[in-house]
């Protein structure tokens, strides 16, 4: 088994450095490109001793679930962001630094979701490859960024909508990237990774058909979405919904709307007779409930950013998407 690199900084010092460098809004450095990523073609077999497994870190609970379905019992897997924590608001801990320092490979969602990660990886001193599960997925821009891009004639891919997983067809692409990375690093188990990936892709294809069946129950004129922040664009694009607007503007649930933005959204919701506001389980619902009351619409909770505990309604990615599709269909069907 390859030797694990020592953590040269004290964990307390590492934690303080990472948080100061990576707290949202602290710095714009690195937003132009995720320069710490490893291309799949650059991956090479690791010198694992007989019986040793890859030590794999995945950033979110959703991504960890998918990595676990491909890696199965052949990998040792850790999820970085705890269940129930908003990835947009996550702040790393010393334990996270330890995990990254020891990892053989780190899987991220990409498209800027893990803005905290680059500084943490650099300070941890590990040698893990960092692979974006979203490689090969065409990014969707956020609405306000798309307007700016039209003026500038370009779009910064790092600023793209990161919520790729809310379309299971994108997660099929995730599995192909994960399978390729694990097989390159641990070719002795490549057959197991291929079998696991193929079986899971079949389940994802079934999930896609189930979602389309749920959506078919919604009258076309009711296929409108209002959300806490801009998170359902990939879902809407794939399944034929119109996103009327968001209470919190833009990419992150940490942004704050202006009074003018809220008033404009309220007018649109009333004009289009939108029946529901969909709110992610990790977002503080207070503002959402006030807005929904003013609009005279109901609030429906989705599990958009995190799995639940095993006894909750979304303990796996498949169950999360089934729950969300059924909730959306129920809220929008008269």
Q: What is the pLDDT of residues 68-90, one digit of tens each?
A: 999 999 999 999 999 998 887 88
Q: Last residue of a domain, which of 159, 183, 206?
A: 206
Q: Per the structure, how many domains does the chain have? A: 2
Domain match, 23 and 125 both:
yes
134-176 confidence digits (pLDDT tens)? 999 999 987 554 443 343 333 333 468 999 999 999 999 999 9
* Residues 72 and 196 both lie in one domain: yes
- pLDDT in the model for residue 92: 87
Residue 220 lies in a domain: yes
Same domain assignment for residues 100 and 225: no
Residues 193 and 220 in one domain: no
pLDDT of residue 252: 53
The pLDDT assigned to 16 comes to: 33
pLDDT digits (tens, 9 = 90+) for 186-229: 999 999 999 999 999 999 999 999 999 999 999 999 999 999 88
Domain that holds residue 237: 213-332
Dump pLDDT digits (tens) for 301-330.
999 999 999 999 999 999 999 999 999 999
Residue 126 tokens, joined: 């590990």
Same-domain check for residues 22 and 149: yes
| CATH number of 119's domain | 3.40.50.1980
% of the chain with per-residue pLDDT over 70: 83
pLDDT of residue 55: 98
Within-domain flag for 238: yes
The domain boundary residue, chosen from 141, 171, 206: 206
In a domain, 20, yes or no: yes
pLDDT grade for 117, boundaries at 50, 70 and 90: confident
Judge if 185 and 252 occupy the same domain.
no
Closest CA to 2 of 46, 50, 57: 46
Which pLDDT score is estimated for 195?
A: 98
pLDDT at 282 over 60: yes
Enumerate residues 6+ apart whose C-beta is below 8 A from 68. 75, 77
Question: b/e for 247-285, b at 16 or more Cβ within 10 A?
Answer: bbbbbbbeeebeeeebeebbeebeeeebbbbbbbbbbee
What's residue 333's pLDDT? 95
Long-range CB pairs of 58-62 (<8 Å, 24+ gap) are 58/106, 58/107, 58/108, 59/87, 59/106, 59/107, 59/108, 59/109, 59/113, 59/114, 59/117, 60/87, 60/109, 60/113, 60/305, 60/306, 61/306, 61/307, 62/165, 62/305, 62/306, 62/307, 62/317, 62/320
- Domain match, 69 and 177 both: yes
| Banded model confidence at residue 121, pLDDT cuts 50, 70, 90 | confident
Going by pLDDT thresholds of 50, 70 and 90, the confidence category of residue 279 is very high
Q: What percent of the chain has pLDDT over 90?
A: 65
Q: Are residues 133 and 172 in the same domain?
A: yes
User: Which of residues 180, 206, 232 is at a domain's end?
Assistant: 206
Q: Is 183 helix (H, G, I), strand (E, B) or coil?
A: helix
């Amino acid at each position: 088994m390859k030797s694990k690199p020592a953590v040269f900084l004290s964990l307390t010092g590492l934690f303080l450095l990472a948080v100061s460098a990576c707290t949202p809004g602290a710095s714009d450095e690195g937003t132009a490109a995720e320069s710490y990523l490893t291309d799949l073609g650059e991956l090479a077999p690791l010198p694992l001793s007989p019986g040793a497994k890859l030590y794999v870190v995945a950033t979110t609970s959703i991504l960890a679930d998918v990595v676990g379905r491909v890696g199965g019992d052949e990998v040792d897997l850790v999820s970085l962001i705890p269940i129930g924590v908003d990835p947009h608001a996550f702040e790393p801990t010393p334990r996270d630094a330890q995990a990254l320092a020891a990892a053989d490979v780190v899987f991220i969602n990409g498209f800027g979701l893990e803005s905290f990660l680059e500084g943490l990886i650099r300070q941890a001193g590990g040698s893990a490859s960092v692979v974006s599960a979203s490689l090969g997925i065409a990014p969707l821009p956020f609405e306000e960024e798309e307007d700016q891009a039209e003026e500038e004639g370009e779009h910064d891919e790092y600023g793209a909508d990161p919520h790729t997983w809310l379309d299971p067809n994108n997660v099929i692409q995730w599995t192909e990237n994960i399978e390729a990375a694990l097989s390159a690093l641990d070719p002795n188990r490549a057959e197991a990774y291929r079998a696991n990936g193929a079986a899971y892709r079949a389940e994802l294809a079934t999930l896609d058909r189930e979602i389309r069946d749920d959506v078919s129950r919604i009258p076309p004129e009711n296929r409108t979405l209002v959300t806490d922040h801009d998170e359902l664009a990939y879902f809407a694009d794939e399944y034929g919904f119109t996103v009327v607007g968001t209470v919190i503007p833009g990419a992150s649930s940490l942004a704050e709307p202006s009074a003018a933005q809220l008033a404009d959204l309220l007018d649109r919701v009333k004009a289009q007779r939108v029946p529901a506001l969909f709110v992610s389980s990790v977002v503080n619902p207070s503002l959402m409930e006030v807005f929904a009351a003013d609009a005279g619409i109901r609030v429906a909770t989705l599990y958009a950013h995190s799995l639940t505990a095993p006894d909750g309604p979304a303990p796996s990615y498949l169950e999360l998407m089934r729950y969300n599709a059924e909730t959306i269909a129920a809220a929008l069907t008269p």
